[in-house]
Amino acid sequence: MGDPAAARGQPPPAATPLLVLHDPQTTGHAAEGHPESPARLRAIAAALAADPELAGLAQSGSDPVDPERLRLVHTDEHVRRVAAASREGGTWLDSDTYCAPESYGIALRAAGACAAGVEAVVAGRARTAFALVRPPGHHATPTTAMGFCLFNNLAVAVRVAQRELGVGGIAIIDIDVHHGNGTQEIFYADPTVLYCSLHQLPHYPGTGRARETGSGQGAGTTVNCPLPPGSGPAAWLAAFEGQVLPAVLRFRPELIAVSAGYDAHVADPLADLRLTTDTYRTIAARITEVAAETARGRMLWALEGGYDLAALADSVTATLRVLAGA
């Protein structure tokens, strides 16, 4: 159907600069003492509510993703395994990754928020969408939940954009301190997706060496920038400006998707990089500039890691101010 406003002879409403998708009902996905907890989203929500520059942001909840969309990147067996683990009362899927009785439904909404975000961007209703979701996703492989991740939220949205919405090449920029091994595996042989990651190495999960550059038709479409423990903003930004952004500019994507982890912050307890809130502000500004040059400004950001609550909330709000043009 056409736009109702256009049918009445009126111009369609202008796209909002930034749409934030936020599902506050994640308390059922929790394990005592685990760093990936509901407190993460509560801290971000409180920071947004207290920030007058962000008070007018367009916000939306999320519906569960159709499980068939999960199968765009995951095997049927994997989807069924996570669903069964929740249905049977929950369990640990590995030593780091739990599945509680409500985790499957919450994970469906996390992937659903990312899919809804990319739909809004491609339809022109938003220039950028940021999905504030948990559990995170970038470690989830086609067959395995790991690293706190059940389903690969961003990868699902990328495939929705390509397979259902007609988007061509997409660049993924992963700024989490951990290498997104799941995302890399999903797209490693795919020439239509550029995957770029800046991460600490050696560190979990042990992948992401510079020599990992893609395979088959996807050779050259994976860019890994491993950084040693203790690296600070200068080293991180040098790799970002010298390797990642030039690769994106050469690739000329139609959409940029960001795995937005904030655990490279100096205050984060789970890693040993030394980024600051100002670093994340710079990152957001530079990705926005490159998106304007290559992708008509179209971006999807999805929350990944970040486990110091104050640093996470500060860094996310700093990012959102940039994305909203505040």
Active site residues: 139
Task: Give the SS3 label for residue 61.
Answer: coil
Q: Which residues contact 118 (CB under 8 A, 6 or more apart)?
A: 129, 157, 158, 160, 161, 165, 255, 257, 300
Q: Report the first-to-last Cα separation within the chain, whole angstroms.
A: 34
The Cα–Cα gap between 59 and 307 comes to 23
Task: Give the SS3 label for residue 221.
Answer: coil
Token readout for 208 is 């992401």
Rounded to whole angstroms, the maximal C-alpha distance in the chain is 59
Task: Tally the residues of the chain.
Answer: 326
Token readout for 5 is 């406003």
Cβ-based neighbour number of residue 123 at 10 Å: 11
The Cα–Cα gap between 55 and 307 comes to 24
H helical segments located in the chain: 4-7, 39-50, 67-70, 76-87, 103-122, 153-163, 181-187, 233-239, 245-251, 277-294, 309-324
Mind giving me the DSSP string for 167-196? ---EEEEE-SSS--HHHHHHHTT-TTEEEE
Cβ-based neighbour number of residue 276 at 10 Å: 18
Residue type, 239: A
The answer to whether 175 touches 260, Cβ cutoff 8 Å, is: yes
Burial class of residue 145 in the structure, from the number of CB atoms within 10 Å of its CB (0-12 exposed, 13-18 middle, 19+ buried):
buried
